[in-house]
Amino acid sequence: MTKSTETVAVHLYGRFRQLAPDKRTDADSVVRLTAEEGDTIARILERLGISAAETSNIFLNGELSALTRKVNSGDRLGIFPSDMALLYKWYFEKKD
C-alpha cells in the first residue's frame, strides 16, 4: 500500500468531486496520485483530465498558486472550479 507521504493528495470541490472516490458534498473528495518527476500543478490537472480554464483558485499546501508551481510527494493540492472563484485575492500572493 502506498504511504500517504508518497502521494499527492488532491482535494476537489464542486463538479470536480466526481473524479474522487468519495463524491459527497459534505466530505473531503480526495484523489491520491503518485508524484512524478517534474510534476507541476498544470501536469497534475492534465493527469486528472481537468482543463485549466475550468479552474479558479488552486492552493498548494494552503498557498494560492500558479499553474507552473512544482508539486512533490506529500503535498496537498486544492482545486476549485470556475464557478467557485470567490476569494479576496488582493490579500493572497500567488506563488509560482
Partner 1 sequence: MSKILRLNMSNQTAKFEDVPEKYKFLGGRGLTSSMTCDEVPPDCHPLGPNAKIFIAPGIVSGASGPSSGRLSVGGKSPLTGGIKEANAGGLASQKIAKLAIKAIALEGQAPAGKFFTVVINKDGVKFLPADDLVGKGMHEVDKVLWQKFPNKPAIIGIGPAGELRLTNAGVSVNDMENGPGRYAGRGGLGAVLGAMGLKAIVIDDKGGPGVTIADPETFKKEAKKLAEALLSHAVTSQGLPTYGTAILVNVMNEAGGLPTRNFTAGRFEGAAKVSGEMINEMVKLRGGAGRVGHACHPGCVMKCSNIYPRPDGTAHTSCLEYESAWSLGPNCGIDDMDVVAELVRICNDVGVDTIEAGVAIGVAMDGGLLSFGDGPGAIKLLSEIGKGTPLGRIIGSGAAFTAQAFGVTRVPVVKNQAMPAYDPRAVKGIGVTYATTTQGADHTAGYTIAPEILGVGGKQDPLAPTKGELSRAFQATTAFIDSTGYCLFIVFAILDVPTGYEGMVGSVNAMQGSNWTADDVIKVGLEIMKRERQFNEAAGFTNKDDRLPEFMRVEKLPPHNVVFDVPDEELDLVNKF
Positions in the binding site for partner 1 (CB under 8 A): 11, 13-14, 25-28, 56-57, 59, 62-64, 78, 80, 82-88, 90-92
Q: In the complex, what is the shortest distance from the CB of residue 70 to partner 1, in angstroms, rounded to a whole number?
A: 19
Cα(14)–Cα(81) distance, rounded to whole angstroms? 6
**Which CB, 14 or 35, lies closer to partner 1?**
14
Q: In the complex, what is the shortest distance from the CB of residue 74 to partner 1, in angstroms, rounded to a whole number?
A: 13
Q: In the complex, what is the shortest distance from the CB of residue 87 to partner 1, in angstroms, rounded to a whole number?
A: 6
Contacts of 60 (CB under 8 A, 6+ apart): 41, 69, 71, 75, 76, 77, 78, 95
If phi over 0 gives left and psi between -120 and 50 gives alpha, with beta otherwise, what is residue 59? beta
**Which CB, 21 or 38, lies closer to partner 1?**
21
